[in-house]
Structure 1
C-alpha cells in the first residue's frame, strides 16, 4: 500500500504538471512588438502540443512495460490497445506539427538511455525573450521526463497482481488528467480547426481507456484471494 501511494503521488504530480509551463505563459498582456505577440502564440501552441505528445508517450511506455511485466491476458490485451491507439494519435500529432513547423521534442520513455531532440532556432527581433520562454518549456519538460522515469522504475519492481493494479491505476490517472488537458486545449485553440479536430479525436480514446482501467481494477479487487 505504501508503494502504491508513492506511485500515485508521482504520477499525479507529472499529470498535473502537463500544461503547467504552458498555462503560466499564456495570457492577454499586450506586447509592444508584433514579433513578440506572434512568437508567443507559436510558443504557446508548441508548449501545449508538446504536452499532448508527452501524454501519448507516457501511455505508450506504460503499455510496453505492462507487456514486459504482466502475465494477465486481459491486462496484456489492454496494454496492446493502449499502445496502438496512442501511437496512432502521436503519429497524427507529429504530422500536424511538421505541417505547421512546430518542432517537438520526442523521447522514448521506455528506453534506458534517453536522449531528447527538438528545440529549433529562435529568430526575430524578440529572439531573446522567446529563447528564455523556450528554455522554460524545455526545463519543465525534462522535469516531467525525469519524474516519469522514476515512476516507471518503481513500477518495474512490482510483480503479479501488485504490478497489474498499480499499472491500471497509473493509466486511469493519466487518462483523467489527459482529458482535462485536452479540454483546455479545445477551449484555448478553438479557432484552430485542424488542431481542434486532432485534439477532439483523443477525447473518446482517453475516456475509453480510463473506464477500462477502472473496470479492470474493480475486477482485480473482486477476485483478490
Structure 2
C-alpha cells in the first residue's frame, strides 16, 4: 500500500513540476509578446511622426505656391511679380523633391497630391505597429484641413488689396512665412539628422527658403523708399 502511495505521490509531483514549467514558459511567451507589441507601437508611432512632419512641410510648400500664384496675378510692381514667379518655381521644385522622396519611402501623403483630401497614409502592419501608427495619426486630417482653411483665408484677405498696398502686404506675408518655414526645417534637421538623404533634401530647401526671405526683405525696403 505504501509503495502505491509513493507512486501516486511521484506522479503528482511530476505533474505539478510539468505545470510549473508550462506556466513559466507561458509567462516567458507572454513577456516576449508584450515586448514585441511595445516595440511595434514605437515603430508605428515613429512612422506616424515622420508622415506628420512630411505632411507639415508639404503644406508649407503648397501655401507658398498658392501665395506666389496670387502674387504673379495681382502684384503691380514688376519686381514683385518676378519674385513671385521665383518663389513659385522654388517651392514647386521643393515639393517635387519631397514627393519623390516620399514615393521612394512608400509614403502616401495627401498634402503632396493635387487634391484637398484631409486623410493621411494608412499604417504598416501588425505586432503593435498599426496601433502605434493610428494613435500618432489621430487628428492629422483635422490639422491638415485647418491649415488649408487658413491659407485660403489669407489669400482672400490679400486679394482684397490692390496696387502698392498689395505688393507690401504680399512681401510681408512671404517674409513671415519663410521664417516659419525655417523653423519647420530646423525641426526636421534635428529630428532626422541621421537620415542622410532626407537631411540633404531639408538642407536644400532651407537654403532656398533663406534666400527667398532675404530677397523679400530687400524688396520690402525698396517699397518703402
Instruction: Tell me which interval the TM-score lies in, with the shorter structure as reference length.
Output: 0.7 to 0.9
Distance in 2 of aligned mates of 1:115 and 1:176: 25
**Distance of 1:121 and 1:50 partners within structure 2:** 14
Residues 52-67 of structure 1: pairs in structure 2 closer than 5 A: 52-67=57-72
TM-score (normalizing by structure 1) = 0.78
Report the equivalent of 1:89.
94
Equivalence for 1:178: 181
Q: Report if aligned partners of 2:110, 2:121 keep a CA contact under 8 Å in 1.
A: no
Computing the radius of gyration from Cα coordinates, the structure with the larger value is 2
Query: Is the contact made by 1:67 and 1:79 (CA closer than 8 Å) also made in structure 2?
Result: yes
Q: Which residue of 1 aligns with 2:79?
A: 74
Q: Deviation at 1:133?
A: 2.7
C-alpha deviation, 1:45, in angstroms = 0.9
Going from structure 1 to structure 2, the CA distance change for 1:31 and 1:148 (only over 3 Å counts) comes to farther
Which of the pair is proportionally richer in helix?
A: 2
Specify the alignment match of 1:116 in structure 2: 117
TM-superposed CA distance for 1:108, in Å, is 8.1
Root mean square deviation of aligned Cα: 2.1
Q: Deviations over 1:40-66 (max 9, x none)?
A: 111111111111111111111111001
The equivalent position to 1:37 in structure 2, one of 23, 42, 67, is: 42
| SS, match of residue 139 in structure 2 | helix
Instruction: Give 1:72 deviation, angstroms.
Output: 1.3
- Runs of 4+ aligned structure 1 residues displaced above 6 Å come to none
Q: Distance in 1 between matches of 2:49 and 2:106?
A: 14
Q: Which runs of 5+ in 1 are unaligned?
A: 1-29
- The count of corresponding residues between Structure 1 and Structure 2 is 189
Q: TM-score, normalised by structure 2?
A: 0.78
